[in-house]
Amino acid sequence: MTHEVRLLGTGNAFLPKQRLHSFMILDGIHIVDAPPTALTSLRIAGISPAEIETIFVTHLHGDHVFGLPFLLLERKYISDRERLKPLTVVGAKGVRERFQTLCQLAFPGSLDDALDSIEFIESDHGTTNDNWNWERFEVHHDDAVDPHGYRFEHSDGASLVHSGDSGPCDNLENAISRSQIAVVEMGFPQWVPSDHHHKPNDIQSLAERNPDTQLLITHTFIDSEKSSGEPILTNEFPIHPGNVHHLEDGDAWIHENSAWNPEN
């Protein structure tokens, strides 16, 4: 059995050049978060919103969840008009109320039935229909948005972590140390005086402490390598250890024969 982790977006909240908001899809049916550019990302990738079975919510910042009303609206009126496709939302306690508020603000009344048909799971671990065991853990970010990361382990042994938005913290490091790959955010340049996101030096030390885990960098502040002209902040990538991989929108890693490797 093969697995696929694809980053449909790799930018932080400020949308560096040629990047959409950080957005991961696992095996083509489970997404992590629903950023404002989620529908754009899915259109570019040719993935119908109706194919999505699960949304794993890391936290409630706008760059991670404000795309939800558009996904629900699209499913209701275009790709799942017959309402045949069940949707599960996995998130911390209170996620249902927050999503109701968000959808009521975006499209008053129009998404009530769509919300009613979602199965919300607020426990901190579970198993998907396709045998991914997942666990949610607290991370270090703004406590007002209930920040979490996820660890996934398939019954065939494949494992991965998604950091959500987080600065360095023990829970995240513990999950990474037990996993083959980790999708890790690098939201801040070195000079920002806050520890709510990873900075290049944090990624450096994290990679050195966990040499057996491949770190796939997303939610980055650095313009795409495909960009040109004056950078937004910078277009220069730090020199990192060999187990650090700065991803571009659309990049995928494939799990086959017990190992993850980049597509192609």
Q: Which of 165, 223, 249, 251 binds Zn ion (CB under 5 A)?
A: 165
Side by side, the strands of the sheet bearing 214-218 are 125-127, 132-138, 148-154, 159-162, 181-185, 214-218, 244-246
Question: For residues 34 and 71, is the Cβ–Cβ distance under 8 A?
Answer: yes
Q: Which is nearer to Zn ion, 147 or 158 (CB)?
A: 147
| Range in contact with Zn ion (rule: CB under 5 A) among 3-11, 54-62, 99-107, 223-231 | 54-62
Return the closest-CA partner of residue 17 out of 180, 260, 235, 198: 235
Q: Which is nearer to Zn ion, 138 or 165 (CB)?
A: 165
Q: How far is the CB of 194 from Zn ion (least distance, A)?
A: 11
Q: How far is the CB of 166 from Zn ion (least distance, A)?
A: 9
Binding of residue 61 to Zn ion (CB under 5 A): yes
Number of chain residues interacting with Zn ion (CB under 5 A):
3
Considering Cα of 89, then 29, then 3, then 141, what sign does the dihedral take? Answer: negative
Q: How far is the CB of 185 from Zn ion (least distance, A)?
A: 7
Cα→Cα distances 100→46, 67, 218, 253, 264, Å: 28, 13, 28, 34, 41
- Kindly report the number of other CB atoms within 10 A of residue 33's CB atom: 28
Binding of residue 198 to Zn ion (CB under 5 A): no
Q: How far is the CB of 131 from Zn ion (least distance, A)?
A: 29
Binding of residue 146 to Zn ion (CB under 5 A): no
Q: Which is nearer to Zn ion, 155 or 194 (CB)?
A: 194
Q: Which is nearer to Zn ion, 3 or 19 (CB)?
A: 19
Residue 24, H or E segment = strand 23-26
Q: How many angstroms separate the CA atoms of 226 and 220, rounded?
A: 14
Q: Which of 63, 153, 223, 249 binds Zn ion (CB under 5 A)?
A: 63
Question: For residues 185 and 198, is the Cβ–Cβ distance under 8 A?
Answer: yes
| Range in contact with Zn ion (rule: CB under 5 A) among 31-39, 60-68, 227-235, 240-248 | 60-68
3-state secondary structure of 2: coil
Q: Which is nearer to Zn ion, 61 or 246 (CB)?
A: 61
| Range in contact with Zn ion (rule: CB under 5 A) among 62-70, 89-97, 113-121, 204-212 | 62-70
Q: Which is nearer to Zn ion, 116 or 143 (CB)?
A: 143
Q: Which is nearer to Zn ion, 74 or 165 (CB)?
A: 165
Q: How far is the CB of 59 from Zn ion (least distance, A)?
A: 6
Q: How far is the CB of 167 from Zn ion (least distance, A)?
A: 11
Residue 237 main-chain phi, psi, to 5 deg: -90, 140
Query: What single DSSP character describes residue 234?
Result: -
∠ Cα 89 92 95 (to 5°):
60
Interacting residues toward Zn ion by CB under 5 A: 61, 63, 165
